[in-house]
Chains A and B, each alone.
Chain A
Amino acid sequence: MKDFIEGSEAIARVVALCKPGVISAYPITPQTHIVEFLAEMVAEGKLKSQFVNVESEHSAASAVLGAVATGQRVFTASSSQGLILMSEVLFNAAGMRMPVVLVCVNRALSAPINIWNDHQDSMALRDSGVIQLYGESNQEVADLILQAYRLAEDPHILLPVMVCLDGYILSHGYEVVDIPEEDKVLGFLPDFNPPERLDPADPKSFGPLAGPEYYMEIRHDLHQALKRALALIPEVATQFAHIFGRNSGGLVEPYQLEGAEMAIVAAGSVCGTIKETIDTLRAKGKKVGLLRIITYRPFPEEEIIQNLLKVPMVAVLDRSISLGATGPIYCDIRAVFQGQKPSPKISGFIAGLGGRDITPDTIMEIFERLPGSQVSDQFIGLKDGD
């Protein structure tokens, strides 16, 4: 059913369709609306779920980790400092192979305190073992929630999945979103049936100690599960398209890469702006394109190589920075092409930190700068020159 609604409401409605037994969250801007909508549904009896109010994000993540261990489907959401406070628990959730599904409404990290959008918060969880998916539109984010549960709870994966969306731009933006029908959801998402449950009648410890003689094997298993997800993610996206009739999710999305001389790599809502700029430039005969990263962890190396191998110049647009180094996506893309022949000339650009707008002019500037000397951490849009 199509509705003109806020991004946060679209997410809440799709989460409700997945019927999580336990929801726990702590309010933080710009994530708050999502769990407000869910709390309202629970309070009005429209959603049969236990909503656990907690005193911090660390507790919210702990509550859903405990609940998922008992065999309940769970949901939580956060942003920025809240996500960072959750991080201690989320590394555990991945290591314990607990299929927590959470939403990160991307927001800058302090200091200085800033409530606006960039990707620094989710990027800080890059190495946690949590699967990271980035949506471009509210429709895609809503669809990714459904796919996230499928992926997380797959018996061959069993990992937390974090769906990321840009704060305000998507979370507070109103768009027409097609909310899936309940019977179709039932056909797509089977009941959660974990192989082990925390149960007083059959006591066991989850997340026990592993010494030097076992730790590496367990981490290797976790890494292999993420690698397996690379095969499952496109499969789940295909099944989704088959049932719901639209393409959402997957590993990457190529846009106008056929014969492109220059391409941008980016993730999230900025790709809408990039696509529009590409259309403008293509109309003028410029051969430009985009490779949109949907799945950032696990990192889709093969698809990136296949799509960019023949593009002579590639600009990676990061909305975050590994301070003292480069943008995280840039770092990964450079590494992927190390030793590859042919390999594009790859430059790294940092833009849109702390909610600084990325406009078509910003994108134009990147395309204009790209043929120049190779750069790795070029800030775009700084006020006092560069």
Chain B
Amino acid sequence: MEKPITASPGSAQRNKTGTWRIENRPQFLQKNCIACRLCVLICPEGIVAGKEKNTFQTDYRYCKGCGLCAAVCPKKDIVMVPETSKENTES
């Protein structure tokens, strides 16, 4: 019995694309944030979340380190740091 190849919904959550990150990751300084939400809107993975000022954070399980959030932040409150840096890798 043959079957066509199908995929169930939710595969984007199952596949932890954070392993694709190779050089830099964003660090959310949470100091001068004005909660403009540009980082949320620009993230191609849809994984930046936060509500109040200085609460925004990305989900490193899926973050590919593209750097768009750091580039778009008007307050320079997100910076790209080398993967080898030990700070802020939780979540």
Q: How far is the CA of A53 from the CA of B51 in the complex (A)?
A: 49
Across-interface contacts of B2 in A (CB, < 8 A): 97, 155-158, 195, 221, 225
Q: Which of A69, A157, A196, A208 contacts B3 (CB 8 A)?
A: A196
A210 contacts partner chain B, Cβ-Cβ < 8 Å: yes
Q: Are A206 and B1 in contact (CB under 8 A)?
A: no
A218 contacts partner chain B, Cβ-Cβ < 8 Å: yes
Q: Are A96 and B7 in contact (CB under 8 A)?
A: no
Prevailing SS type, chain A contact patch: loop
Q: Are A208 and B1 in contact (CB under 8 A)?
A: no
8 Å CB interface, A201-236 against B: 203-208, 210, 218, 221, 225
**Least Cβ–Cβ distance between B16 and chain A, in angstroms:** 16
Q: How far is the CA of A157 from the CA of B1 in the complex (A)?
A: 8
Report the number of A-B residue pairs with Cβ-Cβ less than 8 Å. 47
Minimum CB distance partner of B10 in chain A:
A203
Q: Which of B6, B9, B11 contacts A196 (CB 8 A)?
A: B6
Q: Are B6 and A208 in contact (CB under 8 A)?
A: yes
B91 contacts partner chain A, Cβ-Cβ < 8 Å: no
Across-interface contacts of B11 in A (CB, < 8 A): 208
Q: How far is the CA of A157 from the CA of B2 in the complex (A)?
A: 7
Across-interface contacts of B1 in A (CB, < 8 A): 155-156, 195
Q: How far is the CA of A90 from the CA of B90 in the complex (A)?
A: 47
Prevailing SS type, chain B contact patch: loop
**Least Cβ–Cβ distance between B68 and chain A, in angstroms:** 23
Q: Are B8 and A204 in contact (CB under 8 A)?
A: yes
Q: How far is the CA of A271 from the CA of B1 in the complex (A)?
A: 37
Q: Are B9 and A195 in contact (CB under 8 A)?
A: no
Q: How far is the CA of A203 from the CA of B9 in the complex (A)?
A: 7
A291 contacts partner chain B, Cβ-Cβ < 8 Å: no
Q: Are B5 and A96 in contact (CB under 8 A)?
A: yes
Q: How far is the CA of A355 from the CA of B31 in the complex (A)?
A: 77
Across-interface contacts of B6 in A (CB, < 8 A): 196, 204-206, 208
Q: Which of A98, A156, A210 contacts B4 (CB 8 A)?
A: A98
Across-interface contacts of B7 in A (CB, < 8 A): 204-205, 208
**Least Cβ–Cβ distance between A79 and chain B, in angstroms:** 28
Q: How far is the CA of A327 from the CA of B6 in the complex (A)?
A: 38
Minimum CB distance partner of B4 in chain A:
A97
Across-interface contacts of A157 in B (CB, < 8 A): 2
8 Å CB interface, B1-33 against A: 1-9, 11
Q: How far is the CA of A56 from the CA of B11 in the complex (A)?
A: 33
Minimum CB distance partner of B1 in chain A:
A155
8 Å CB interface, A154-197 against B: 155-158, 194-196
Across-interface contacts of A218 in B (CB, < 8 A): 5
Across-interface contacts of A98 in B (CB, < 8 A): 4
Across-interface contacts of B8 in A (CB, < 8 A): 203-205
Q: How far is the CA of A298 from the CA of B11 in the complex (A)?
A: 35
**Least Cβ–Cβ distance between B64 and chain A, in angstroms:** 16
Minimum CB distance partner of A204 in chain B:
B6
Minimum CB distance partner of A218 in chain B:
B5
Across-interface contacts of A206 in B (CB, < 8 A): 4-6
Minimum CB distance partner of A159 in chain B:
B2
Given contacts A156-B2, A203-B8, A205-B7, 20 further A-B contacts (CB under 8 A): A69-B4, A97-B2, A97-B3, A97-B4, A155-B2, A156-B1, A158-B2, A158-B3, A194-B4, A195-B2, A195-B4, A196-B3, A204-B7, A204-B9, A206-B4, A207-B4, A208-B5, A208-B7, A210-B5, A225-B2
Interface residues of B (CB under 8 A from A): 1-9, 11
- 13 A–B contacts, CB within 8 A, in A order: A96-B4, A97-B4, A98-B4, A156-B1, A156-B2, A158-B2, A195-B1, A195-B3, A204-B7, A204-B9, A207-B5, A208-B6, A208-B11
